[in-house]
């Protein structure tokens, strides 16, 4: 499993011998490895092409494979009203990265002070002093330092000066467009979870806690788990087929995102999950939901009976899709 190391600072790492208590994470930090820096939100196919190369180079030299990410996303501080919704938690990123051979995921805390570091300060503090990187792997659109002043040309110069090898990996393209986290967010917000999944390493997953709902689903024979405190971007309004995971057990699921206009419900982003072939109490349980495909749009039915007939069709469609 990829280990997560959360830094509390690195721009003063040169003082660690004088202030060891200020750097409790340092003894656990893998250094002298191959490093790739990025947000890695979603760990999509473009990220995986970088990660694969990091692992290959690390294997060739017998050194650690290290990914570096940020928490929160810099946009949360720079433009909080327009910050992108995250596709994955840090823990989920590490879980996916472990399958591709990343030994350690290093998380830099993003603060106003951090964002004021120049490109050279960022490189020297993190890549040289903190990680002692022997090699780096990045894409051509990698920017770093205050105001994104550092680009791949600047990175090449800094790596050459510090005797750190650098490899630039061409971006991954699908359907004539570069694969990116922003592209995936747009697809999910439009409800196109299938195309989003084609660009991701896994189907898009959200996690939340099951809370009490209005129990209308149970009354009509289709009990649902209502999710609260969801940890990632919720796809656009619609009805979806997917899977749900509880304590390691996987169930087929029909997922409703949005209001229920048949009952004059106006909660725009309510998430209701009907688990097929499950019977039990889920209140207070952590539920993971994977989105597989979009069934249909949210609709208002003339009666509860008409809704039930449609739900029966939805469930049959989910079964047929996954079988």
Q: Tell me, what CATH number does 78's domain have?
A: 3.40.50.620
The tokens for 84 are 């992108």
Q: What is the pLDDT of residue 260?
A: 83
Whether residues 135 and 214 share a domain: the answer is: no
Whether residues 62 and 121 share a domain: the answer is: yes
Q: Are 31 and 85 in contact (CB under 8 A)?
A: no
Of 5 and 22, the structure prediction assigns the larger pLDDT to 5
pLDDT per residue over 191-243, tens digit each? 999 999 999 989 999 999 999 876 666 667 788 999 999 999 999 999 999 99
**Residue 123 confidence (pLDDT) above 70:** yes
Whether residues 108 and 220 share a domain: the answer is: no
Whether residues 112 and 208 share a domain: the answer is: no
**Based on the structure, what is the number of domains in the chain?**
2
- Phi-psi category of residue 280: left, alpha or beta, with phi > 0 → left and psi -120 to 50 → alpha: left
Residue at 217 is within a domain? yes
Of 37 and 130, the structure prediction assigns the larger pLDDT to 37
Q: What's the rounded Cα separation, in Å, for the pair 14 and 12?
A: 5
Whether residues 162 and 211 share a domain: the answer is: no
**Residue 13 confidence (pLDDT) above 60:** no
Q: What's the rounded Cα separation, in Å, for the pair 89 and 87?
A: 7
Q: What is the pLDDT of residue 19?
A: 55
Whether residues 222 and 317 share a domain: the answer is: yes
Kindly state the helix (H) or strand (E) to which residue 106 belongs, with its residue range.
Answer: strand 104-109
State the residue range of the domain holding 52. 3-174
Name the pLDDT band for 323 (thresholds 50, 70, 90): confident
**Residue 16 confidence (pLDDT) above 80:** no
Contacts of 306-313 with C-beta under 8 Å, sequence gap 24+, read: 307/220, 307/262, 308/220, 308/221, 308/222, 311/220, 311/222, 311/254, 311/274
Residue at 194 is within a domain? no
Q: What's the rounded Cα separation, in Å, for the pair 309 and 292?
A: 22
**Residue 15 confidence (pLDDT) above 70:** no
Per DSSP, 187 falls in state H
pLDDT per residue over 43-73, tens digit each? 999 999 999 999 999 999 999 999 999 999 9
Instruction: Average the pLDDT over each of 41-50, 98-107, 261-270 and give the range with the smallest value.
Output: 261-270
Residue at 186 is within a domain? no
- 157 HSE (CA, 13 A, CB side): 6
What's the whole-number mean pLDDT along residues 2-16? Answer: 72
Residue at 219 is within a domain? yes
Last residue of a domain, one of 136, 159, 174: 174
The tokens for 197 are 């999944």
Among candidates 165, 137, 131, which has minimal Cα distance to 48?
137
The tokens for 249 are 């057990």
Whether residues 257 and 294 share a domain: the answer is: yes
Q: Which residue has the tokens 């999710």?
A: 227
Q: Would you call 185 helix, strand, or coil by DSSP?
A: helix
pLDDT per residue over 276-313, tens digit each? 999 888 999 999 999 999 999 999 888 889 999 999 99
Whether residues 115 and 257 share a domain: the answer is: no
Distances (CA, A) of 191 to 59, 84, 174, 259: 40, 17, 19, 15
Q: What is the pLDDT of residue 3?
A: 94
**N-to-C CA span, the chain:** 31
pLDDT per residue over 179-201, tens digit each? 999 999 999 999 999 999 999 98
Burial (Cβ within 10 Å: 0-12, 13-18, ≥19) of residue 254:
buried
pLDDT per residue over 17-34, tens digit each? 545 565 676 678 899 999
């Amino acid at each position: 499993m990829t280990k997560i190391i959360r830094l509390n600072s690195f721009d003063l790492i040169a003082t660690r011998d004088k202030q060891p208590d200020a750097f409790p994470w340092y003894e656990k930090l893998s250094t002298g490895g191959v490093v790739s820096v990025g947000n890695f939100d979603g760990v999509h196919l473009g990220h995986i092409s970088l990660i694969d190369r990091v692992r290959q180079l690390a294997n060739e030299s017998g050194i650690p494979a290290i990914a570096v990410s940020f928490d929160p996303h810099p946009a949360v501080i720079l433009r909080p009203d327009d910050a992108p919704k995250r596709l994955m938690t840090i823990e989920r990123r590490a879980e996916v990265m472990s399958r591709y051979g990343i030994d350690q995921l290093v998380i830099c805390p993003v603060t106003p002070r951090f964002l004021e570091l120049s490109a050279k300060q960022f490189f020297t503090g993190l890549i040289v002093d903190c990680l002692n990187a022997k090699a780096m792997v990045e894409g051509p659109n990698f920017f770093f330092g205050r105001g994104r002043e550092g680009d791949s040309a600047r990175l090449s110069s800094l790596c050459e000066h510090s005797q750190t090898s650098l490899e630039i990996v061409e971006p991954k393209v699908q359907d004539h467009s570069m694969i990116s986290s922003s592209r995936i967010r747009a697809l999910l917000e439009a409800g196109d979870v299938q195309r989003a999944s084609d660009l991701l390493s896994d189907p898009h997953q959200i996690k939340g806690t099951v809370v009490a709902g209005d129990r209308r689903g149970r009354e009509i024979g289709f009990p649902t788990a209502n999710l609260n405190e969801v940890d990632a971007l919720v796809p656009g309004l619609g009805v979806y087929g997917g899977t749900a995971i509880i304590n390691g057990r996987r169930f087929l699921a029909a997922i409703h995102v949005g209001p229920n206009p048949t009952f004059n419900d106006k909660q725009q982003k309510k998430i209701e999950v009907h688990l097929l072939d499950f019977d039990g109490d889920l209140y207070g349980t952590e539920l993971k939901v994977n989105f597989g495909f979009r069934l249909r749009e949210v609709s208002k039915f003339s009666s509860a009976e008409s809704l039930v007939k449609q739900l029966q069709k939805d469930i049959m469609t989910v079964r047929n899709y996954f079988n």
